[in-house]
Amino acid sequence: MLPTRGYATKGPTSILEPFSFERRDPGPHDVLIEILYCGICHSDIHQARDEWGGSIFPMVPGHEIVGRVTRVGSAVKRFKVGELAGVGTIVDSCRVCASCKAGLEQYCEVHVVWTYNGTEKDEKTPTYGGYSSQIVVDENYTLKISPKLPLANVAPLLCAGITTYSPLRHFEVGPGQRVGVVGLGGLGHMAVKLAASMGAEVTVFSTSKTKEQDARRLGAHDFVVSLDPKNLDALANRFDFILDAVSAPHDVNAYLNLLRRDGVMAMVGIPAKPLQVQAFSLVLKRRKLTGSGVGGIRETQEMLDYCAKKNIVADVEVIPIQQEKEHRGRRRGDPHSAGRSGLGADDQRRCSISLRH
Ligand code: ZN
Ligand code: ZN
């Protein structure tokens, strides 16, 4: 076994503390990765606070992992020692169900082995994530990372990037289409960059006017302050596709009404409480409300290759993991982090933790 240093939270109201644990010895198909950067994902915060229920403690969060390969198993073909590697939200799955066979491991019908807050295939051994010094992952669930892009900025692609890329691709967003992005946080900012790069005309909806400059810099063509219903009414029946990246409670009907006939709205943010959907919002224009969860391994690699080609990365602020606690303290003045406690900066995806010790 490999002694590993990490940071864990012991319960829903605890903070991150140093935590020592063991990784398995790399098997024939495994790669051992020294972790260099790990993004802070909003779901790290939800799960560390047990907001979705069923959290496993102690929890070592982190599923936006980039690092360097330090050892490979005897049968590993795709990675060599010294190469860059990435790990996202999934480290294994059943591999034989219809979803796994279709390359959609995130929808595995048997057992997805989530990178943290999950269990290995034995459904007993807990998994520990990227707020740690190293990780052992089967090469089939390990991603190739281009050395062209700044590594700290690549980390959030492993979750925020694929979570937004996958629905944009699945619903065939492209030139000539009007795309709305609701919320400009970690997911939203990637959605704007990606949708704009695919040729769509992008409108950002945000409760805060202060984000307009950021939105336009990221590639948005239009910006709408969503607090005023008049602003939304003026845009009824206009959009082909809307990506809803908000995890706070909000009125989805206000956005559904902006879709054209047969338009699609996909949820990628996950509010803790059920949403209220007016049947009229769907019925009147045969609109579709759907959701999308991260992406399969094949599509995640496709997204990473696409981002390397198009020079797309996440905007990040890098903080040493030892200072994560102080960092949170500094952000108390930020209205978006008001009332939050426990793990993490609320600026989520805009952070990439440096794991250099
Ligand atoms: Zn995530
Ligand atoms: Zn499966």
CA of 114 to the centre of ligand 2 (A): 12
Q: Please give the distance, rounded to the nearest whole angstrom, from the Cα atom of residue 313 to the centre of ligand 2.
A: 30
Ligand 2 centre and the CA of 216: distance in Å? 40
Buried b (16+ CB within 10 A) or exposed e, 168-179: bbebebeeebbb
Residue 83 Cα to ligand 1 midpoint, Å, equals 24
| Ligand 2 midpoint to CA 103 (Å) | 9
* pLDDT at residue number 42: 87
Q: How far is the CA of 329 from the centre of ligand 1 (A)?
A: 22
The domain segmentation of the chain, as residue ranges, is 2-159+295-354, 161-291
Q: How far is the CA of 234 from the centre of ligand 1 (A)?
A: 34
The ligand minimizing its distance to the Cα of 163 is: 1
Spatial distance between the Cα atoms of 186 and 175, rounded to a whole number of angstroms:
24
The pLDDT of residue 352: 61
Longest dimension (CA), the chain: 63
Interval between CA 242 and ligand 2 midpoint (Å): 29
CB-CB neighbours of 3 under 10 Å: 10
- pLDDT at position 206: 96
CA torsion sign for 287, 288, 289, 291 is negative
Kindly state the tokens that stand for 65.
């992992």
Alpha-carbon distance 355 to 219, whole Å?
30
Coil, helix or strand at residue 222: strand
Q: What is the pLDDT along the chain (357 residues), one digit of tens a residue?
A: 999 999 999 999 999 999 999 999 999 999 999 999 999 998 998 899 998 899 999 999 999 999 999 999 999 999 999 999 999 999 999 999 999 999 999 999 999 999 999 999 999 999 999 999 999 999 999 999 999 999 999 999 999 999 999 999 999 999 999 999 999 999 999 999 999 999 999 999 999 999 999 999 999 999 999 998 899 999 999 999 999 999 889 999 999 999 999 999 999 998 888 999 999 999 999 999 999 999 999 999 999 999 999 999 999 999 888 776 544 433 333 322 222 223 333 333 445 665 543
pTM (predicted TM-score): 0.91
CATH architecture of 161-291: 3-Layer(aba) Sandwich (3.40)
3-state class of 141 per DSSP? helix
Which top CATH class is 2-159+295-354? alpha beta
3-state secondary structure of 356: coil
Residue 331 has a pLDDT of 36
Report the separation in Å between the CA atom of 112 and the middle of ligand 2, taken as the mean of its atom positions: 7
pLDDT, residue 351, reads 56
Distance 170 CA to ligand 2 centre (A): 20
Q: Which ligand is nearest to the CA of 160?
A: 1
